[in-house]
C-alpha cells in the first residue's frame, strides 16, 4: 500500500509525463512548421514514448490498490524563435523530469517503500538516457549552427557512411564505440 506522500508524488509524476507528451507533440508541430520534418518525427515519436511513461506510472499506482489521478495538463509555451531554442527547452524539461524522479526515489527510500523504489529504478535509467539524447541533439545543433561546425558535422557524416557502414571498424573495436555510431545513427541521427 502506498503512503499518501508517495501516492501524491507518483500522481504528480503521472501529470508531468502527460505534460511531457503534450510538450513534445507541440514541439513536433512547431518543427513541422519550420520544415524540419525529421526532427518533428523524432519529437512526435518521443511524445508517444512519454505517454507510455505516464501509463506505466498509472498502471503501477492502480496495481497497488491506490487511485491514479490525472490532472489538468497545461498548454506549453510554444514561442520558440529557433530550433536551438526549442532543443534548449526540451533539454531543460528533461532535467526537470530527472529532478522530479530523483525526488520520488528519495521519498521512497526515506519511507522504506522498497517496491516503489525498485519500480522507479527503470525511470532513473531512462532519465539518464533522455538527458544524454537531448543534450547530444542540442550540442549537434549548436555545432551545425556555425560554418566550421557544418564542415565538422559533414566530415562526421562521411565517416559514418564510409568507415562504419563498410565494416572498417573491427568488431573488437566496435564495442568501444557508442551504440548509435555502430548502428548507423552517427552525427545528427540520434
Q: Which residues belong to the annotated binding site for Fe cation?
A: 17, 50, 53, 94, 127
Query: Can you tell me whether residue 81 is helix, strand or coil?
Result: coil
76: left (phi over 0), alpha (psi -120 to 50) or beta: beta
| Nearest in space to 100 (alpha carbons), one of 14, 23, 184, 37 | 14
Would you list which residues are annotated within the binding site? 17, 50, 53, 94, 127
24: left (phi over 0), alpha (psi -120 to 50) or beta: alpha
Length of the chain: 190
Amino acid at each position: 500500500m502506498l503512503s499518501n506522500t508517495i501516492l501524491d508524488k507518483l500522481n504528480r509524476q503521472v501529470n508531468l509525463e502527460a505534460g511531457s507528451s503534450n510538450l513534445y507533440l507541440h514541439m513536433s508541430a512547431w518543427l513541422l512548421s519550420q520544415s524540419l520534418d525529421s526532427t518533428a518525427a523524432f519529437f512526435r515519436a518521443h511524445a508517444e514514448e512519454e505517454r507510455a511513461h505516464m501509463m506505466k506510472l498509472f498502471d503501477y499506482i492502480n496495481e497497488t490498490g491506490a487511485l491514479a489521478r490525472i490532472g489538468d495538463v497545461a498548454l506549453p509555451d510554444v514561442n520558440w524563435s529557433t530550433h536551438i531554442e526549442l532543443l534548449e527547452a526540451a533539454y531543460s524539461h528533461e532535467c526537470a523530469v530527472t529532478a522530479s524522479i530523483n525526488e520520488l526515489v528519495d521519498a521512497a527510500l526515506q519511507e522504506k517503500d522498497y517496491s516503489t523504489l525498485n519500480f522507479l529504478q527503470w525511470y532513473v535509467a531512462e532519465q539518464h538516457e533522455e538527458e544524454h539524447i537531448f543534450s547530444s541533439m542540442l550540442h549537434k545543433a549548436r555545432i551545425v549552427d556555425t560554418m566550421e561546425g557544418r564542415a565538422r558535422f559533414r566530415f562526421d557524416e562521411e565517416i559514418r557512411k564510409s568507415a562504419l557502414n563498410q565494416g572498417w571498424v573491427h568488431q573488437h573495436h566496435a564495442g568501444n564505440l557508442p551504440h548509435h555510431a555502430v548502428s548507423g545513427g552517427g552525427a545528427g541521427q540520434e
